[in-house]
Chains A and B, each alone.
Chain A
Amino acid sequence: MSHSTDYIGKPTNRVDGPAKVAGTAKYAAEFNVPNLLYGYVVSSPIAKGKITKIDAAPVLALPGVQQVFSHENVPSLAWLDRSYKDDVAPGGSPFRPLHDAEIKFSQQPVALVVADTFELARYAASILHIEYEEEAHETELVKHIDEAYEPGRGKTGYKPPKSRGNFGKGWKQGVAHMEAQYSHHAQHHNPMEMFASTVEWLGDKKLNIYDKTQGAFNSQQYVMKVFGLSKDQARVVSKYTGGGFGSGLRPQYQLFLAVLASLELQRSVRVSLTRQQMFSFGHRPETLQHVALATAEDGSLTGINHFAVAETSQFEDFTENVVGWSGTLYDCKNVSLGYRLSKLDVYTPLDMRAPGAASGSIALEIAMDEMAYAAGLDPLEFRIRNYSDFDQAQDLPYSSKALRKCYAEGAAKFGWDRRTATPGSMRDGKLLVGWGMGGGIWDASKQPAVAKASLDADGHLTVSSGTNDIGTGTYTIMTQIAAQSMGLPLDAVTFVLGDTELPEAPVQGGSWTAASIGNSVVEACTKLGEALLKQAQKMDHPAFKDAKIDDVEFANGQLRLRADATQAVVLRDLVQASGEPKMEAENSTTLAKLELLKPPTHSMHAHNAVFVEVKVDPELMTVHVTRVVNAVAAGRILNPKTARSQVMGSVVWGISSALMEESVMDHRFGRYMNHNYAEYHVPVNADIHDIDVIFVSEEDDKVNPLGVKGIGEVGLLGVAAAVTNAIYHATGQRVRDLPVTIDKLL
């Protein structure tokens, strides 16, 4: 029976919308606590070497300057590397801000100037005199391919690629072949909100830390370990996060600096990074890739070879799954995969939206297009002929896989059947028209997380979990889930997040929040329901005397018998009768933790297929992406409105990656030269045209009880390749070095 409170799957406005449009949503740098000091970071102008002199005296002489922190005066902190390792840290030795005189990367923070006002701190930082001994740096990946090494176990979630069959044999069996190299440059996340931490000093080393992060608990653990604080002393709050895209997965150095200054000066301190400094930490690593494919007469793949070399820092091994997907997405017996790292004098790369897969899918999906042309097949038909119905990489069946529907529904909506194959054969007036496609695959994963459901005597339900909402819609979907679970209207439910005083949740990343927190919310509400039923039984309500939880339902703010809806009791009355101000229940993570230990029985993934139209001016070679259809199979869609926005954003990211985004390194200085929002190009409104998002139906009772797979990342896959393939179709020019800027087409 359906109820008016069945919110799951219905397009629902963001519950945090009013706060965001009215400007009342507070981000990390917006907590104006009393007597606040301002810290301004000084960044290294060299990429490698050491600091030989810091002349702080003239700066300290300025009235209003409180302190200049540098390696010369930082107190002794935690000694072991593991104290600096956060939940998402890769292998190696984490960077310690202001630790010693050594410079390991350009823009390394070398000092923090703390003053009474922001204006003064900024000015004082500008006159701080620092001398360096500069050493030769290495930042050019292409020069260090030979030194690349296999990274071993890597960080959590990294799966060393597994080859199978015999690629050499498969290559020889093929009648058509392609082989090519692909590259893309470093990219920086650049969320709109710059990293900032406001640390409120409450006395006796007790801190309230308002941090920009994708994981309040991750920031808290880091601060506790590095500064030797207790949980009570380091509360981290992160109610609103102005974009993350992975950049907030690891605590950034402004958190360290703000906490350091607060503890040392026993004052409240805010440290905000500048947009320029947003290029001074993790980024999507520059990656060089080689793909070779071979096909038999019938167009079936006889061999896949995918090899990648990516940059990492001198001090950590950043690993991501770049090539592994190529062993899963298409059916092929002979697959040879390789992934290596090369150390450069840069900061450690960092997960950036669809880490690994976004990079890998650029190479694989352009290669698939090249192979389709070499084999004389339509790119969509070629993919369908090599459809994988069984995950050969994991040797497991898929829990569900509706990629065929993505192909069919996406192609129908786009009008793919009207495509003529020859490059340059489609025109709109004088403009060249190109149609290209691509697609991808992303993990559907779930992490242990705790949620608490609490019903008060007014009948208002508050559900809480210390997760984040980086713009993904967590507030909204969790409110929908909780409201439906307890049969309450949306406005009778509040979801609270982003605070280490709440039940513990993992970082928001990996597209796992909907599954991890969502299922926890359902479990917590179920437990609360059981408690409410018990309460009803305690009250000697005859109808519920022998009722089990499956015999009752929650609707219209009531607990009632499924068999007879007139037998009902108002939830509010149950709480009031309990004698307590509220009734609460929490889910247990014991089973979820054990589940992680069990070998998987199914391959669980989300998929997509994306179709792109470009129009190219044949004289100027300017490219406009005029139409995109992105069909996504990601299990159950909790809120089609916010989900569509996420996929639409992914498409914008894909267009950006294909045509614009690139952190340009000047190797003479080892520095990203376009480290600002004007020269690091991302799309603006005029660059973006029609984007159509399709969620194909996909039921999955194995992936998790809610049947959700997460959609934060999958929508990005194949988009950049599809744009590049469309450019080939329009112009006949195959560009393999992204972004495809005009100079590469002229």
Chain B
Amino acid sequence: MSQRFIQQPLGPPAPTLAPTQPVSLHINGQAHTLYIAPWTTLLDALREYLDLTGTKKGCDHGQCGACTVLVDGKRINSCLSLAITHEDSRIQTIEGLGTEDKLSPLQQAFIDHDAFQCGYCTPGQICSAQGLINEGKAKTEAEVRELMSGNVCRCGAYPNILSAVMEVLHNEGLIMEDKAWSAGATEPEIAPVEPPKK
């Protein structure tokens, strides 16, 4: 049994390709003008044209959160956004949050709580956590877990990410709960209960 299978192209070749054009971006307090095609994503603009490789590509489909950056203070997936649509925005990447010599409180907390292993999802996690802090919604562990769930960590550092974020929320006076956020798990006690008699 054999049959022909023709891989249909997605479309005919374009008669002319979209030309590159100047795109002005305001990133980490600096203005940049790039000459890029309009189909260039913000993620690729950062990584391939500006050498801001702290922002990571984990799926290119908005599924993993590794490419999270802050646009006007809000966290977005930079892989799902074209650079050209952000000419009027203030963009902040991991490089703009702090440097190795001058880490932001979140960056330091991620180190102290060992909130990463391979480090590849880390810039996205930190930008996402910064966005979460900016939003001001998350007050409890459960809320932080939920609202940090757009960022996949394949190494499984989630409990440490949680404690790092909780510590920063606590230190910045954003949550009332008075608790020392150690790196790691809490231990709820649950006693077994017999089922109700039928």
A interface, CB within 8 angstroms of B = 13-14, 16-27, 29-30, 32, 45-46, 49, 52, 58-59, 61-64, 117-120, 123, 126-136, 190-194, 240-245, 272, 274-275, 415, 418-420, 424-428, 433, 470-473, 613, 626-627, 641-642, 644-646, 648-653, 676-678, 682-693
CA distance A691 to B159 in the complex (A): 8
CB of A18 within 8 A of CB of B195, answer no
B114 with A13: CB separation less than 8 A: yes
Main secondary structure of the interface of B (DSSP, over half): loop
Establish whether residues A686 and B59, one from each chain, have CB atoms under 8 Å apart when the complex forms. no
Counted as pairs of residues, one from A and one from B, with CB atoms less than 8 Å apart, the total is: 281
A429 to B: closest C-beta gap in Å: 9
How many angstroms from the CA of A401 to the CA of B189 in the assembled complex?
30
Chain A residues with CB under 8 Å of B194's CB are 420, 425
Interface membership of B112, Cβ < 8 A: yes
Contact A613 B61 (CB under 8 A): no
The answer to whether B2 touches A134 (Cβ under 8 A) is yes
Instruction: List the 6 shortest-distance A-B pairs measured between CB atoms, nearest first.
Output: A23-B54, A652-B156, A242-B120, A471-B118, A20-B119, A471-B117
- Contact across chains for B118 and A21 when beta carbons are under 8 A apart: no
Min CB distance, A26 to chain B, in Å?
A: 6
Please tell me if the beta carbons of B158 and A685 are within 8 angstroms of each other in the complex: yes
Residue of B47, B111, B121, B183 contacting most chain A CB atoms (<10 Å): B111
* Given A627-B188, A649-B155, CB of A30 within 8 Å of CB of B53: yes
Task: Indicate if B31 sits at the interface (CB-CB under 8 A).
Answer: no
Give B24-55 interface residues, CB cut-off 8 Å to A: 36-37, 39-40, 44, 47-48, 51-55
Q: 1/0 per position for B43-83, CB-CB distance to A under 8 A?
A: 01001100111111111110110100000000000000000
Query: A-facing mask of B108-137, CB < 8 A → 1, else 0?
Result: 101110101111111100100000000000
Q: Tell me the bound Cα distance from A638 to B152 in angstroms.
A: 28
- Which of B4, B13, B149, B160 contacts A645 (CB under 8 A)? B160
B residues near A641, Cβ cutoff 8 Å: 114, 183
Complex alpha-carbon distance, A158 and B145, angstroms: 41
A17 CA / B118 CA spacing, docked (Å):
10
Tell me the complex Cα distance, A338–B62, Å. 44
Least CB separation from B98: chain A residue: A22
Cα distance A424–B192 when bound, in Å? 11
Q: Which of A16, A127, A470, A642 contacts B9 (CB 8 A)?
A: A127
Q: Is the CB of B100 within 8 A of A18?
A: yes
Which B residues lie within 8 Å of A20 (CB)? 116, 119, 122
Identify 21 residue pairs between A and B in the complex whose beta-carbon atoms are under 8 Å apart, listed by A's number: A20-B116, A21-B107, A21-B110, A22-B107, A32-B51, A45-B7, A59-B13, A63-B17, A119-B39, A130-B6, A192-B154, A193-B120, A275-B61, A424-B195, A472-B117, A626-B188, A644-B184, A683-B158, A684-B152, A684-B158, A685-B153
Q: Is B174 engaged at the interface, CB distance under 8 Å to the other chain?
A: no
Contacts of A682 in B (CB 8 A): 152, 154
Q: Select B120's contact among A128, A243, A424, A684, beta carbons within 8 Å.
A: A243
Known: A13-B112, A133-B2, A243-B120. 13 other contacts (CB 8 A): A127-B12, A192-B56, A192-B121, A242-B56, A471-B117, A645-B157, A648-B156, A648-B184, A652-B156, A685-B146, A685-B162, A686-B145, A687-B149
User: With an 8 A cutoff between CB atoms, is B94 at the interface?
Assistant: yes
Residues of B contacting A690 with CB < 8 Å? Answer: 159, 185-188
Which A-chain residue is minimally distant from B183 (CB atoms)?
Answer: A641
**Contact present for A191 and B120 (CB under 8 Å):** yes
- A21 B120 Cβ-Cβ under 8 A: no
- Assess the A685–B190 pair: CB atoms within 8 A: no
Q: How far is the CB of B84 from chain A (nearest CB, A)?
A: 12
Partner of B118, one of A58, A132, A470, A686: A470
Q: Across the interface, do A428 and B149 meet the contact criterion of CB distance under 8 Å?
A: no
The residue that A19 contacts in the complex, of B6, B93, B100, with Cβ under 8 A, is B100
- Please name all residues of chain B whose beta carbon is closer than 8 Å to the beta carbon of A684 when the two chains form the complex: 149-152, 158
Which of A23, A118, A646, A649 is in CB contact (< 8 Å) with B53? Answer: A23
Interchain CB contact under 8 A, B192 and A426: yes
Instruction: Please name all residues of chain B whose beta carbon is closer than 8 Å to the beta carbon of A61 when the two chains form the complex.
Output: 13
> How close is B66's CB to chain A, nearest CB, in angstroms?
6
Which of chain B's residues 140-190 have a Cβ closer than 8 Å to chain A?
A: 144-146, 148-162, 183-190
Chain A residues with CB under 8 Å of B7's CB are 45, 128-132
Report whether A645 and B114 are in contact in the complex, using a CB–CB cutoff of 8 Å. yes
Q: Are the CB atoms of A29 and B57 closer together than 8 Å?
A: yes
Interface size range of chain B in the complex: 35 or more
Given the interface pairs A23-B54, A420-B194, the reply to whether A692 lies near B187 with Cβ below 8 Å is yes
Q: Is the CB of A428 within 8 A of B190?
A: yes
Q: Which chain B residues lie closer than 8 Å to A651 at the CB level?
A: 156
B122 / chain A contacts, CB cutoff of 8 Å: 20-21
A49 near B120: Cβ-Cβ < 8 Å: no
Q: Complex formed: what's the CA distance from A27 to B1 in Å?
A: 45
Q: Quick one: given A21-B126, A22-B99, are A686 and B146 in contact (CB under 8 Å)?
A: yes
Give the CA-CA distance A419 to B190 in the complex, in Å: 11
How far, in angstroms, from A433 to B37 measured CA to CA in the complex?
Answer: 56
**Shortest CB distance A613–B (Å):** 7
| B162, A242: Cβ atoms closer than 8 Å | no
Residues in B whose Cβ lies below 8 Å from that of A642: 114, 117
Shortest distance from the beta carbon of B24 to any chain A beta carbon, whole Å: 19
Which residues of B sit under 8 angstroms from A426, Cβ to Cβ?
Answer: 192-193
Q: Which residue of A lies closest to B165 (CB)?
A: A685
Q: A240-B119, A470-B118 are in contact. Are A118 and B44 (CB under 8 A)?
A: yes
A645 to chain B: closest residue by CB: B114
Bound CA–CA A586/B11 (angstroms): 59
A194–B184 touching, CB < 8 Å: no
B76 → chain A closest CB, angstroms: 17
Contact in complex: A676, B59 (CB < 8 Å): yes
- A203 to B101 alpha-carbon distance, docked (Å): 37
Contact A613 B160, beta carbon cutoff 8 Å: no
A425, B192: Cα distance in complex, Å: 8
Q: Which of B48, B120, B154 contacts A32 (CB 8 A)?
A: B48
Known: A21-B122, A22-B99, A132-B7. A192 touches B64 (CB 8 A): yes
What's the Cα separation between A652 and B44 when bound, in Å?
Answer: 31
* Alpha-carbon distance A646/B119, docked complex (angstroms): 13
Q: Which residues of B contact A275 (CB under 8 A)?
A: 58-61, 63-64
Given A648-B160, A685-B161: A23 and B94 interface contact (C-beta under 8 Å):
yes
Complex contacts, A13 vs chain B, CB 8 Å: 111-112, 114
What is the bound-complex CA distance between A132 and B3, given in angstroms?
8
CB-based nearest B residue for A419: B192
Residue contact A18 to B1, C-beta cutoff 8 Å: no
B190: min CB distance to chain A, Å: 6
Instruction: Across the interface, name the chain A residue whose C-beta is closest to B111.
Output: A17
Which residues of chain A are within 8 angstroms of B121 by Cβ–Cβ distance?
Answer: 192
Interface assignment of B95: CB less than 8 Å from any CB of chain A = yes
Task: Return chain B residues, CB-CB under 8 Å to A27.
Answer: 53, 56, 120
Task: Tell me which of A26, A190, A471, A693 has the highest count of chain B C-beta atoms within 10 A of its own C-beta.
Answer: A471
Chain B residues near A117: list those with CB within 8 A: 37, 48
- Give residues 79-106 of B contacting A (CB, 8 Å): 93-95, 98-100, 103
Q: B120 — which chain A residues lie within 8 A by C-beta?
A: 27, 191-193, 242-243
A684 to B158, CA, bound (A): 8
Q: In the complex, what residue of chain A is closest to B99 when comparing beta carbons?
A: A22
Task: Among A191, A274, A420, point to the contact of B192 (Cβ < 8 A).
Answer: A420
Contact of B117 with A646 in the complex, beta carbons under 8 Å: yes
Question: Shortest distance in angstroms between A121's beta carbon and chain B's nearest beta carbon?
Answer: 11
Chain A contacts for B57, CB-based, 8 A: 29, 194, 272
Chain B residues positioned under 8 Å from A471 (CB to CB)? 116-119, 155
Q: A191-B120, A645-B160, A677-B63 are in contact. Are A685 and B4 (CB under 8 A)?
A: no
Complex Cα distance, B100 from A20, in Å, reads 9
Decide if B119 touches A677 in the complex (CB within 8 Å): no
Question: Is the CB–CB distance between B10 and A126 below 8 Å?
Answer: yes
How long is the Cα–Cα vector from A127 to B8 in the complex, in angstroms?
A: 8
Q: Which residues of A contact B159 (CB under 8 A)?
A: 648, 688-691
